Structure 1
């Protein structure tokens, strides 16, 4: 698409929102934001909006966060999401790259979105159809820990302490004395180097979190580790080995949130739980699994504080109690109340 064509694409979009009754002030806001975004893409990546990738969009969001409030960034992201939904609808883009970006953002455009109500029995039937060890490990872990997709991608082998013979690495000191647990760091940020590599996702947590895993999660991880490819880009073990790597085109490379999103939504689409262009009310995505985990575990335990701790939310000082009393307050409560999803 030529320069003139992609300028017209923005103009056509602006005409479209005007035809739908948006006032001049709103149209002007869209024009300003899209123009700034277009300039950013040209200067940073020498590309155009229709050709931009998920990573390009995420880089722009990261740039905006350095100069704007989170609420403003969320508004700008909603503008960009609507623009790409338009491009996808009229055939000027194969997909909406902002779909995954919005999954990664800490801000929610809808304050309290109504979500599809999936029962535990329905979710078990969904998981039963997932046979690929990597896909199953991803989905089971997201459903039973409340991790964000980016946090899952950022996990290294040393962040996982399994009491099982499949483990042949030393877990980091934070979990060395806590078998069957995961360590979620606060240090990883999109586009910045961490652990010797540039990260493709951010961990949104304000606190380091140790998350217990039960036998069901451990079984899924062990089955995945049995077929996990070696990492080709880590000669001599100079950087931490990622826990989850690709088994297709990106063989042996660390997973990205876009891949995780694709894995989840592909299975969800097969069950009629995901539709391109659908919103939070109908689509099942990695973020939906976080919602599912929160709702079910909170209802089972009646302990909002433990759920906040596991999610990595910023809460009151009571969270310190869970941090220092992890064994019999967090782990025991989790193991007693966490649901099974294998039938």
Structure 2
């Protein structure tokens, strides 16, 4: 007797839990996605795994994206659809390997390509306002906050790269810093004069007042421990509010702005790639689209024969 969809899902989830040792969050996510898939198949009158076809898998993805307007159910974002497909493909691959189906009907089904979203860079004037508003005053926390935000923009660093900095990662004499990116990959990035001044001021007058016991961490919280990503994020958000910048601002906004401003200034895209720590120049090239769009806007408003 052919396996039912319900039994097959139960066996696959048990496989993930017992044999693969998947995390609880992963199991919960797969359970949610596969039960949604089961409801879809049941609605088509399909209860046996042998009856599922590649067309059913593809139609399931379409249904996820479309939603159910009559019931007020909104369609899922492409990223969520892609995540659900990962669960469905893993499920069907398992079923084929276990002999519950003759073939893997989901093997040739690809996730939807996400829409290309251009990073939102801030104008230079807005960045300067944020930098000026960060760490107003001369107290230890103010000195820390100014150094943190200056370093984020000066290096185009990810928030995790800055909060994980240790003292030995700083080479202030040669105006450089060692950043550890994704996968622990290290890169050396130059640091601008204002950021060097801010970091020096913090190390001399701010950090000694925050430190409680020995720690190699550069940026400390009020308890003397390493500053968390969440706290560092809040430092930037607070600075943007004080500066009166009403656009959405995050650490990645400064990273986008760093890259865009360099390219606007004539920097080579491969140099920017190295500074950002991108493994592929293709990832960096999205920033060139930002500058092209900016040029189009300037041309459209400034050239007498643009229209």
TM-score by length of 2: 0.50
Equivalent position of 1:159 in the other structure: 169
Report how far residue 134 of structure 1 moved: 1.0
Report how far residue 252 of structure 1 moved: 1.2
The match for 1:72 among 80, 83, 86 is 83
Going from structure 1 to structure 2, the CA distance change for 1:110 and 1:270 (only over 3 Å counts) comes to farther
Instruction: Supply the distance in 1 between the matched residues of 2:241 and 2:114 (Cα, whole angstroms).
Output: 22
Report how far residue 253 of structure 1 moved: 0.8
Going from structure 1 to structure 2, the CA distance change for 1:111 and 1:218 (only over 3 Å counts) comes to farther
The CA RMSD measured in Å over matched residues stands at 3.5
Residue 148 of structure 2 corresponds to residue 138 of structure 1:
yes
After TM superposition, the structure 1 = structure 2 runs for residues 92-241 of structure 1, keeping only pairs within 5 Å, are 112-114=116-118, 116=120, 118-130=122-134, 131=136, 132-163=142-173, 179-185=174-180, 203-204=181-182, 207-225=185-203, 226-228=205-207, 229=209, 231-234=211-214, 241=216
Instruction: Supply the distance in 2 between the matched residues of 1:254 and 1:308 (Cα, whole angstroms).
Output: 29
1:142-190 CA-partner distances (Å, limit 9, x unpaired):
1111100000011000000122xxxxxxxxxxxxxxx2211123xxxxx
- Is contact 2:133-2:243 (8 Å) kept? no
Equivalent position of 2:231 in the other structure: 259
Residue 31 of structure 2 corresponds to residue 21 of structure 1:
no
Report how far residue 243 of structure 1 moved: 0.8
Instruction: Supply the distance in 2 between the matched residues of 1:144 and 1:138 (Cα, whole angstroms).
Output: 10
Report how far residue 291 of structure 1 moved: 0.2
Instruction: Supply the distance in 2 between the matched residues of 1:157 and 1:241 (Cα, whole angstroms).
Output: 6
- Is contact 1:205-1:312 (8 Å) kept? no
Report how far residue 314 of structure 1 moved: 0.4
Q: What is the SS of the residue equivalent to 2:226?
A: coil
Going from structure 1 to structure 2, the CA distance change for 1:116 and 1:210 (only over 3 Å counts) comes to closer
TM-score by length of 1: 0.45
The structure with the largest helix share of the pair is 2
Q: What is the SS of the residue equivalent to 2:189?
A: strand
1:108-139 CA-partner distances (Å, limit 9, x unpaired):
x9754355553212322232222221111111
Going from structure 1 to structure 2, the CA distance change for 1:215 and 1:72 (only over 3 Å counts) comes to same
Instruction: Supply the distance in 1 between the matched residues of 2:114 and 2:152 (Cα, whole angstroms).
Output: 22
Report how far residue 302 of structure 1 moved: 3.2
Max radius of gyration: which structure? 2
- Is contact 1:183-1:208 (8 Å) kept? yes
Instruction: Supply the distance in 2 between the matched residues of 1:158 and 1:266 (Cα, whole angstroms).
Output: 29
Equivalent position of 2:241 in the other structure: 269
Of 144-153 and 296-305, deviating more is: 296-305
The match for 1:243 among 218, 222, 227 is 218
Instruction: Supply the distance in 2 between the matched residues of 1:305 and 1:115 (Cα, whole angstroms).
Output: 18
- Is contact 1:206-1:314 (8 Å) kept? no
- Is contact 2:130-2:245 (8 Å) kept? no
Equivalent position of 1:286 in the other structure: 251
- Between Structure 1 and Structure 2, how many residues are aligned? 180
1:194-245 CA-partner distances (Å, limit 9, x unpaired):
xxxxxxxxx41563201111321110101111210454354xxxxx610111
Q: What is the SS of the residue equivalent to 1:184?
A: strand
Residue 280 of structure 2 corresponds to residue 301 of structure 1:
no
